């Protein structure tokens, strides 16, 4: 019997409250852990650390999770009024992890902010405020809310093959999006033209999605994505 593939997931670092504590914590929704476990993977958390990319020696795949907006200085822009205060350590470590994972041709999945990290880490840039950009579609009604929209997938792309479809109904909870995909090849778009999925060309499994496949309401619909990530480790 073979050991489960080890899937490294980045974490939030936020002030959090539980028991008698209210402290800065490195944390992650159990949603992600449940999704990885259900797909047959063994989840380990990779909080921001100097030289964090060295941790990739010990894991088989990397998931860049959701979270606050990336500091606009990372892609040479001034902050928009609605852009979050940057999580400097997270930005630095996740960009480093992303680049190292690509160098190592390691299976890589970016989720929401994770897709945006993949774009910025490969030289791209972001739209800082989608309503202000006036693309037309609602991608988030208010912080913490999920809405839904259609995504058109590039036929034959990795994401299209994973879901076995050329279009997909996805959840959506983001107010920023990819402007310049950098070194990524876009393979999924919302009907307003926004990039919703993008891939690392030449990598067996390097995919970022703007939606939230980890959400428990989407467990069944999104299980092909996590199953494909774990399968990519063993080349199945």
Please report, as ranges, the residues that interact with Mn ion according to CB under 5 A.
139, 172
How many secondary structure helices (H) and strands (E) does the chain include? 6, 13
Q: Which of 139, 149, 175, 212 is catalytic?
A: 212
Nearer Cβ to Mn ion, position 128 or 172? 172
Nearer Cβ to Mn ion, position 34 or 192? 192
Q: How far is the CB of 139 from Mn ion (least distance, A)?
A: 4
Q: How far is the CB of 146 from Mn ion (least distance, A)?
A: 10
Q: Which of 94, 196, 199, 214 is catalytic?
A: 214
Nearer Cβ to Mn ion, position 104 or 215? 215
Nearer Cβ to Mn ion, position 74 or 149? 149
**174 neighbors 130 (Cβ within 8 angstroms):** yes
Q: How far is the CB of 178 from Mn ion (least distance, A)?
A: 11
Strands 147-153 and 195-199: unpaired
CA dihedral 190, 140, 65, 75 (to 10 degrees): 80
Angle, vertex CA 142, rays to CA 45 and CA 165, nearest 5: 65
Residue nearest Mn ion, Cβ-based: 172
Span between the terminal Cα atoms of the chain, in Å: 16
52 is a catalytic site residue: no
Q: How far is the CB of 68 from Mn ion (least distance, A)?
A: 17
C-alpha distances (whole Å) from 55 to each of 10, 11, 102, 206 are 11, 14, 14, 18
175 is a catalytic site residue: no
Nearer Cβ to Mn ion, position 90 or 174? 174
Q: Which of 112, 139, 149, 196 is catalytic?
A: 112
Q: How far is the CB of 189 from Mn ion (least distance, A)?
A: 10
Angle, vertex CA 194, rays to CA 31 and CA 36, nearest 5: 20
C-alpha distances (whole Å) from 84 to each of 38, 66, 70, 143 are 32, 13, 8, 12
Catalogue the active-site residues.
Answer: 112, 212, 214
């Amino acid at each position: 019997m073979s050991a489960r593939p080890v899937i490294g997931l980045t974490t939030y670092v936020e002030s959090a409250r539980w028991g008698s504590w209210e402290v800065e914590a490195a944390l992650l929704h159990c949603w992600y852990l449940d999704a990885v476990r259900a797909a047959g993977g063994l989840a380990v958390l990779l909080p921001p650390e100097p030289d964090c990319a060295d941790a990739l020696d010990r894991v088989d795949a990397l998931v860049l999770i959701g979270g606050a907006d990336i500091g606009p200085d990372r892609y040479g822009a001034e902050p928009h009024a609605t852009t979050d205060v940057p999580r400097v350590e997270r930005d630095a470590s996740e960009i480093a992890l992303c680049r190292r994972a690509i160098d190592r041709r390691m299976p890589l999945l970016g989720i929401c902010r994770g897709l945006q990290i993949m774009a910025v880490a490969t030289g791209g840039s972001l739209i800082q405020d989608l309503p202000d950009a006036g693309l037309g579609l609602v991608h988030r009604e208010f912080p913490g809310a999920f809405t839904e929209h259609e995504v058109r997938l590039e036929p034959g792309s990795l994401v299209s093959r994973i879901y076995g479809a050329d279009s997909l109904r996805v959840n959506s909870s983001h107010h920023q999006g990819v402007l310049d995909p950098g070194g990524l090849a876009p393979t999924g778009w919302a009907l307003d033209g926004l990039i919703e999925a993008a891939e690392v060309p030449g990598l067996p499994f390097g995919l970022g999605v703007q939606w939230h496949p980890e959400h428990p309401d989407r467990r069944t619909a999104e299980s092909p994505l996590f199953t494909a990530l774990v399968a990519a480790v063993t080349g199945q």
